Structure 1
Amino acid sequence: MLQNLLSNLTSNEEPTASVISLGQIWVDIMMDVDDMPSSGGFTVARSTHPAIGGSYRVLQAASRMGSPAKHAGIIGNGIWGTAVRNALNEQGIEHIGPDRLDSDTGFRLVLRNENDKSFIATYGAESQGDESSFSQLDPQPGDIVHISGNSLMDHSAAGIDDFLHEAGNDPHQRPYRIVLNPTNSLHMVSDHLLEDTVLVRPIWSCNRQEARTLAERLGVPYDKESGITVGGGFDKAMSQLCESLGSTLRAPLIVRAGSRGVWLREPGGQVSHIEGFPTKPTHTRSAGSCHTGAFCAMLAQGWSMPDAARIANAAASLAIDHNIAGIPNCPGKEEALALLENANKPAD
């Protein structure tokens, strides 16, 4: 199967379907400190690493993997909004969403020492949507619409809910597909919105913590006694979680597990494990956004879910190897496919 995927690569036409994200984009400022300051205290950062965060990483990956990428969220007016716009322009990502002139984009301050991270967030224009935020959005046939869990927890949730109602509950009647990343903070998502999200039957892409949180929120039974730890029945526990959750959602489901790859289930099918690639512990952020963006790009280019997941596994592994200040940096499609091709060659 993989060999066919690689041999057919050159026959694909120039991608026309887009990856459109309804997620939020903000600025991350990571500061490395020796000790966390106590209340009223003082500390000096050894280094500071500003970066564009949120759904930017998904769109960056989609663009680098060869698909037109578009941001439908809100961008503010000010120093942080300017930084977001510059980053989008540099990556060839089109902003098709609203602009706010009365508010700047927000930022997240991340204090990190050897053991912990502490977060301070200021929410800005990206979170100040309403029910009309995505009313002008018109996905075209073949497009992939990405929704981030962060957009389900604040004022932007009204716009997401309105979009979901327009999308309808039959995925076979939609000319486009929806890929949704949930959140570990599902307690902040209303029952009404969560129900609407499940009814739309998107393609769910979760890490294993998000999958367990979603299962618990939906009352899905799974083996909680079998700890999901490498070497402790990991494969069996992941497969069982993917089967139980996917069956309840009645929708495609991917459960990501870092270098172990993903567990994938499509409605009516069996759970399959798609192996990942070894990675070095040189990153401070997850490569989940890169995986999701690469996966969306491959779907937009016509690959099947299993093949899209294989390519995304390779892209996420390389993103960790290419990390910048601990932030995974997605490669281009050719490099990801080369990693797959080398892995597929028989050993001498």
Structure 2
Amino acid sequence: MINALGTMFTKHNVPSPTVISLGQVWVDIMMDVEGLPTSGGFTVADHTSPAVGGSYRVLQASSRMGVTTQHAGIIGNGPWASMIRRAFDESKIEHIGQDRLDADSGFRLVLNDGERKTFIATYGVEAHGDEHTFDCVEPGDDTVVHISGNTLLDHSAAGIDAFVHRTAADPAQRHYTIVLNPTNTLHMVSDHLLEDLVLARPIWSCNRQEARTLADRLGVSVDDSLSMTVGGGFDKSMSELCRSLGETLRAPLVVRAGSRGAWVRLPGGEVAHIEGFPTKATHTRSAGSCHTGAMCAMLARGWSLADAVRIANAAASLAIQHGINGVPNCPSYEDAIALVETDSDTAKD
């Protein structure tokens, strides 16, 4: 099989691939509205649909890609927590984190007016961690640890920092892989924690907005004029964003762009564009979590970063095509590989 870079796929057999997420899990309640009401006003929502969100979507994707999945965050006790636990059982996700009996997990109202989504969060036990929250996590050689940006914004951030200092302070000695999703609200992340995460040299996986927010926070200068050029401007601007941010991070970087694929840079290397797969945009929720989860699974299974991204591109495309109620539905490992192989065969003809 040939990858997007024109070279053979690189895979090393791994005995027990595992993905562990340190992210938070809650319930999303999506409500389609014609418009947001003014203060004191009234509106009617159509197609109200609750779904487990947060890092669950990453773990669900990893599980469907055929690896062991574990969640190290906190789950509570109540109707929302019960919904989360059922989803975990159905997706074969093991909860290894803390169980709280005194409070429920949280939920978010997502108001979708067709143009933008407005979020109203009610935090639950998932946000009530401390420096000992992730003491249960002992990653092995074949483990990918996923850190989500939502865990960096509240009390759980202390647990992330403690975990990084305990297991990953020296990247050269680390025997497992970290994949980190930043957040669009990086202004809420402390300078101390952000510095520790940058020094840990994880694999950073971002969409375009997250990458720009991270670049702004780190003081990285990005040439916006490239996006204004006629013909190929978007590709050039994405490549420049990946290059400039990657040079500052001095760590592997993936910048996603939906059906356009992703731009990837390894430390000291050139930026590579990994093509995506054409997809009709019928989803109301992002496929970014599916992409991240599939990429984590492929890395745990021993694939190189470029190849893991290529397979994740295929998984995200299929997830959108087979979405349920607007929620991307991640495919199996076999289906994602089949799409990549079909695309490779077509390219050779």
Per the alignment, residue 150 of structure 1 pairs with 150
* C-alpha displacement of 1:2: 2.1
Contact 1:167/1:200, CA 8 A, preserved across alignment: no
Q: Which amino acid aligns with 2:266?
A: E
Contact 1:171/1:177, CA 8 A, preserved across alignment: no
- The separation in 1 between residues aligned to 2:344 and 2:171, in whole angstroms, is 34
Per the alignment, residue 107 of structure 1 pairs with 107
- The separation in 1 between residues aligned to 2:29 and 2:108, in whole angstroms, is 6
* C-alpha displacement of 1:237: 1.1
- Structure 2: gaps of 5 or more residues: none
Per the alignment, residue 20 of structure 2 pairs with 20
Give a deviation string over 1:196-219, Cα, whole Å, max 9, x none.
110101000011111111111101
Percent identical residues: 68
CA shift in 2, pair 1:228/1:328, >3 Å:
farther
CA shift in 2, pair 1:343/1:296, >3 Å:
same
- The separation in 2 between residues aligned to 1:211 and 1:231, in whole angstroms, is 23
* C-alpha displacement of 1:241: 1.1
- Structure 1: gaps of 5 or more residues: none
TM-score (norm 2): 0.94
CA shift in 2, pair 1:229/1:284, >3 Å:
farther
Per the alignment, residue 172 of structure 2 pairs with 172
Flag the structure with more relative contact order, 1 or 2, with Cα contacts below 8 A and sequence separation at least 6: 2
* C-alpha displacement of 1:325: 1.1
Give a deviation string over 1:156-215, Cα, whole Å, max 9, x none.
000001011112333231111100000010001011110011010100001111111111
Residue 60 of structure 2 aligns to a residue whose secondary structure is helix
Per the alignment, residue 37 of structure 1 pairs with 37
- The separation in 1 between residues aligned to 2:234 and 2:195, in whole angstroms, is 30
Q: How does 1:75-224 map to 2 (within 5 A)?
A: 75-224=75-224
* C-alpha displacement of 1:24: 0.3
* C-alpha displacement of 1:255: 0.6
- The separation in 2 between residues aligned to 1:116 and 1:229, in whole angstroms, is 27
Deviates more, 1:228-237 or 1:295-304: 228-237
Per the alignment, residue 50 of structure 2 pairs with 50
- CA RMSD in angstroms comes to 1.9
> Within the alignment, does 1:277 sit opposite 2:280 as a pair?
no
Contact 1:142/1:300, CA 8 A, preserved across alignment: yes
> Within the alignment, does 1:342 sit opposite 2:342 as a pair?
yes
Contact 1:111/1:118, CA 8 A, preserved across alignment: yes
Per the alignment, residue 245 of structure 1 pairs with 245
Residue 225 of structure 2 aligns to a residue whose secondary structure is coil
Per the alignment, residue 254 of structure 1 pairs with 254
Aligned length, in residue pairs: 345
TM-score (norm 1): 0.95
* C-alpha displacement of 1:230: 9.5
- The separation in 2 between residues aligned to 1:229 and 1:102, in whole angstroms, is 56
* C-alpha displacement of 1:289: 0.5
* C-alpha displacement of 1:45: 1.7
